[in-house]
Amino acid sequence: MDNLIQKIESQYFKNGLYEDIITRLKDKNIDLNKVKRSDIASVDEFHVRGAAISRELAHSINKKGVSVLDVGCGLGGSCRMLADEYNCDTTGIDLSGEYIRTANKLSKLVNLSSKMTFIQGDATELPFENNSFDVAWTQHVQMNVPDKEKFYFEINRVLKPNGYFLFYEILKKEDRELTYPMPWSNKSNLSFVFREEEMHDILTGLGLTKVQCTDQTQAGIDFLNIVIRRFIEFGPPKMGLNILMGETAQSKLMNLLKHLKNGELELKSGIFKK
């Protein structure tokens, strides 16, 4: 398992990530003393539709001022949005040490570091006490987690009674081979996509109750169509998810788009209550 964790962390590793973002901000003539969340929004949320879907998730329960755990927080964009716009006490955890380092520095850059905590750690062994958070959420995380039962057990464990689990995930719809690279894995050996029904069975087996589930597939297709069209016409953007995905960014996005269109994969968001 340790070897698998190292491989997954390596999948997302990019040396000097924060420094690269700073260089790109300078290239756009943005004053580093006045950087706003909007200046980094296109890179700091590593999931389809970015900040828009995070805001949609937060609005779906409209719980301002609560404690939130972002499992697989990436660069911390969702945590910053929740702290800034919803006055939430936010904690982010991610397997990637470089992502956590960058998340902390970006939060300081936009003057939000006092409102959040970022921790490097394993989502299947959360370093928190039972009943610690009002809300937990994941966005495009489970694809890299082989032990789904342990993953969701830990999320349920740290949720308070009557707490909410929110998700936005890429899920398997048809049992067909996927084409790689994908945004979450260059090869199939790090990809563990499963079905919505399997997620539902695990969560309800833990005692959580489904509040709602929304098909986000078409919205994701529309988003990816625009992103890929811009890639083809103008090349990689100065500030975008290509910074995280590297030279294969366009191929990764095109493969994901193909499988969403063909029905092998789907995008779903949802809410469960403890």
* Separation CA 249–CA 148 (nearest Å): 27
Strand order in the sheet with 265-273: 116-120, 89-94, 67-71, 133-139, 159-172, 265-273, 209-215
Residue type at 100 in one-letter notation: I
* Separation CA 127–CA 158 (nearest Å): 9
Residue 83 has pLDDT above 70, yes or no: yes
Residue 29 has pLDDT above 80, yes or no: yes
* Average pLDDT of the segment spanning 58-77: 93
The answer to whether 58 and 82 are in contact (CB under 8 A) is yes
Please give the structure tokens belonging to residue 42. 């296109």
33: pLDDT confidence band, cut at 50, 70 and 90?
A: very high
Q: pLDDT tens, 219-249? A: 999 999 999 999 999 999 999 999 999 999 9
State how far the alpha carbon of 65 is from the alpha carbons of 55, 162, 231, 251, in Å.
15, 16, 38, 40
pLDDT in the model for residue 1: 60
Q: pLDDT tens, 114-165? A: 989 999 999 999 999 999 999 999 999 999 999 999 999 999 999 999 999 9
Q: What is the mean pLDDT of the chain?
A: 95
Degrees, nearest 5: CA angle 81-83-86: 85
Owner of token pair 């789907």: 266
Please name each of the domains of the chain with its CATH number: 2-273 (3.40.50.150)
